[in-house]
Copies of this chain bind each other. A is one copy, B any other.
């Protein structure tokens, strides 16, 4: 991990356990913030990524890691929370294609940022770091720069600290980076990406499927960054399975 700069106060960092949020945490720590990592259980198909978030928070030196359970899965409407919708493995619904992927969870970033706002209020944080990215995931409405700008204005009005002129900054360091640039940035800051999980559909051992949109983006990112991909993938059906 990189050396820390002088303390810049407290920050809340949204942490999913994937490549982007791990890199975001490394950036916030590197800038000298005391980082309060925040993760959510929300009816994901697998809890593997929460275990990854726990490892990443510890490895990168977050001063605490909160995990909150949210009832987003009860509302449905997404392949990530609703088992009746299949996770796509490329094609028309791929994140790199047209339209909004079925892995979109309605209002997810608004819900996550709302809790981050509450957490920033109680921790006295001056910043909320979130790893949204408009380059590789432009299909998600709540990853767009204009969305983030609208939340920034909301955060400047929504809380007690905001009324006192200390509403948190909404910091999105990855917004305009490609996946390869994100990975190169993280490697420079000492992120161990073998701790992270990106797959939408890992198996019970936490091994990535290698086929979903998120796996494809991740693989491509490591290739383009020229960084070895240490992700453990499930064996292909033809490869058989060790006992």
Q: Which residues of A contact B (CB under 8 A)?
A: 66, 68-72, 74-77, 100, 104-111, 113-115, 117-119, 121-122, 141-142, 144, 146-147, 150-151, 153-154, 156-160, 162-163
Contact = CB atoms under 8 A, between A and B. Distances in A.
A156 B104 CA distance: 17
A76 B146 CA distance: 31
A77 to B, nearest CB: 4
A118 B146 contact: no
Contact of A114 (B69, B100, B107, B141): B107
Nearest to A142: B158
Contact of A77 (B71, B122, B150): B122
Contact of A154 (B68, B108, B147): B147
Given A141-B158, A141-B159, A153-B153, A111 B106 contact: no
Contacts of A77: 118, 121-122
Contacts of A150: 150, 153-154, 156-158
Given A69-B71, A110-B154, 13 more contacts: A68-B74, A77-B121, A100-B163, A106-B118, A106-B121, A106-B160, A110-B114, A111-B114, A111-B115, A141-B160, A142-B158, A144-B157, A150-B156
Contact of A72 (B74, B105, B113, B118): B118
B117 A110 contact: yes
A147 B104 CA distance: 27
Contacts of A122: 75-77, 106
Contacts of A75: 66, 68, 115, 118-119, 122
A162 B117 CA distance: 23
A208 B92 CA distance: 57
A134 to B, nearest CB: 13
A7 B5 CA distance: 59
A106 B118 CA distance: 5
30 contacts: A66-B74, A68-B75, A75-B118, A75-B122, A76-B122, A77-B118, A100-B160, A105-B118, A106-B118, A106-B121, A106-B122, A107-B158, A107-B159, A108-B118, A110-B114, A110-B117, A110-B118, A111-B111, A113-B114, A141-B159, A141-B162, A142-B158, A142-B159, A146-B157, A147-B158, A150-B150, A150-B153, A150-B157, A151-B154, A153-B154
